[in-house]
Amino acid sequence: MDAFVSIPPEWTNKATHAYEFCCPSCRLSSLEAEKVWLNRRSPVLTEDRRRKWQEFYYCQCGSVWWAWSSDRPPKEISNPPDDNPT
């Protein structure tokens, strides 16, 4: 499945809006979704003129949900272990 195809897959038709960036049914994260599609054909401009897109997810539990790309939580930054102790 290509997340960037221009035509929305059929499974996106039954998506519900998730107000938190996870499956509203089972709470799994977007990283654990079985399928992903990004609606990059219809960006929305925010007040500060940034673009945001709808991101659609087909969850392992069978639920289909979408959220705004701007609602995605920031990535956790991890420091690699220090292999050179002083």
Residue pLDDT, tens place only, 29-52? 999 999 999 998 877 898 898 899
Query: Is residue 79 situated within a structural domain?
Result: no
Query: Is residue 77 situated within a structural domain?
Result: no
Number of domains in the chain: 1
CA distance 74 to 63: 24
Query: Is residue 15 situated within a structural domain?
Result: yes
Query: Is residue 30 situated within a structural domain?
Result: yes
The parent domain of residue 27 ranges over: 10-71
Query: Is residue 46 situated within a structural domain?
Result: yes
Query: Is residue 63 situated within a structural domain?
Result: yes
pLDDT value, residue 80: 60
Query: Is residue 4 situated within a structural domain?
Result: no
Query: Is residue 38 situated within a structural domain?
Result: yes
pLDDT value, residue 43: 78
Sheet strand arrangement including 51-58:
16-17, 64-68, 51-58, 35-45
CA distance 56 to 74: 18
Q: What is the pTM of this model?
A: 0.79
